[in-house]
Amino acid sequence: MPLNRREMLKLTASASAAAALGLRPGGGSTPALARLSELRTRPIPSSGEEIPVVGIGTARRYDVESTQEALTPLREVLAAFAVMGGRVVDTAPSYGRAEIVVGELVKAIGNRDDLFLATKVRTEGREAGIEQMEESFRRLHTDRIDLMQVHNLVDVDTQLATLREWKAAGRIRYLGITTSFDRQYEDFERVMREQEMDFIQVNYSLGDRGAGERILPLAADRGMAVLVNLPYARGRLFQTVGDRPLPEWAAEFDCESWGQFFLKFVLSEPAVTCAIPGTAKMTYLEDNVGAARGRLPGPELRERMIAFYDSL
């Protein structure tokens, strides 16, 4: 049952307080939080493991120096995210210092086991790939990475071969590939058809629906989980709607903000497993995680959302 506004505010206040206090979910001291933190989940087809449908992307905003001033708000976000029931955090060695920062913060908070850490490999050659991934283990302070993805298909067949070995050895739990470029879709589809993979990661949003034509149906056919990157088209969707009010019919799918409007569009596509909006502020975290609660638009409302957005 969707949470009402009072419960949401209570959760928000509790999560912020828990984050500030450094509390961890699952602890005996936060039973009310556990009750309020249920988020929509979807299964990873290759294992059946359920993951919450909203995660966090760390490109750009987590690429900061490790000063207390820069780290404190990010620490609060990552702590509260897990308290709220969130799990998926996506990073990459190519996001400047983001992977280092995620590793430092997760270690400091102590919530590694609550999170599903996804990172990437982006380099040419087997040895260079191994070296980069070993470095990711060190940076993330973990001996098990949940999802390792070949970033933008760079040397994809070589890197996937290593990922298979590492999955068999238990070093990574899942493997996959990513893109955010329409021009890579043809190659992306080829790899999806040729390789057995647990996950794909692709760009998809109300303003950028190309992946919905072939990639998402193919993922469903091939039994691959889908992480959606750029669900806000890097923020462009907010600029497009400007200061317009939400249409009244957004209430039909329990939507309280433009962020939830855009995320619920992505999540209402059944092939999508989890969207990973870039999230580095507490207010955005609460907003984004809120999209994992309540109803989602059905096919007719989706058409209405598209017509509305395209008319702007």
Ligand X SMILES: NC(=O)c1ccc[n+]([C@@H]2O[C@H](COP(=O)([O-])OP(=O)(O)OC[C@H]3O[C@@H](n4cnc5c(N)ncnc54)[C@H](OP(=O)(O)O)[C@@H]3O)[C@@H](O)[C@H]2O)c1
Smaller CB distance to ligand X: residue 23 or 285?
A: 285
Q: Count CA within 13 A, CB hemisphere, residue 11.
A: 28
Name the minimum Å distance from CB 255 to ligand X.
Answer: 12
What angle in degrees, to the nearest 10, is found between the helix axes of 5-21 and 282-290? 140
Smaller CB distance to ligand X: residue 23 or 202?
A: 202
Strands 116-121 and 88-90: parallel
Smaller CB distance to ligand X: residue 24 or 268?
A: 268
Smaller CB distance to ligand X: residue 42 or 120?
A: 120
Can you give the binding site for ligand X, defined by CB under 6 A?
Answer: 57-59, 61, 90, 151-152, 178-180, 201, 229-235, 238, 259, 276-281, 284, 287-288
Name the minimum Å distance from CB 28 to ligand X.
Answer: 32
Name the minimum Å distance from CB 162 to ligand X.
Answer: 18
Name the minimum Å distance from CB 297 to ligand X.
Answer: 18
Smaller CB distance to ligand X: residue 230 or 267?
A: 230
Name the minimum Å distance from CB 179 to ligand X.
Answer: 5
38, exposed or middle or buried, with CB in 10 Å at 0-12, 13-18, 19+? middle
Name the minimum Å distance from CB 138 to ligand X.
Answer: 20
Cβ contact 176:197 at 8 Å: yes
Report how far residue 51's alpha carbon sits from residue 37's, in angstroms, rounded to the nearest whole number. Answer: 13
2, exposed or middle or buried, with CB in 10 Å at 0-12, 13-18, 19+? exposed
Q: Please report, as a single letter, which amino acid is at residue 184.
A: Q
Report how far residue 156's alpha carbon sits from residue 151's, in angstroms, rounded to the nearest whole number. Answer: 8
Q: DSSP for 188-240, please give it.
A: HHHHHHHS--SEEEEE-BTTB-GGGTTHHHHHHHHT-EEEEE-TTGGGHHHHH
Please report where in the chains the tokens 């096919």 appear, as a residue.
Answer: 299
Q: Count CA within 13 A, CB hemisphere, residue 80.
A: 27
Q: Please name the residues in contact with 9: beta carbons below 8 A apart, sequence gap of 6 or more.
A: none
Smaller CB distance to ligand X: residue 250 or 280?
A: 280
Smaller CB distance to ligand X: residue 57 or 297?
A: 57
Name the minimum Å distance from CB 76 to ligand X.
Answer: 14
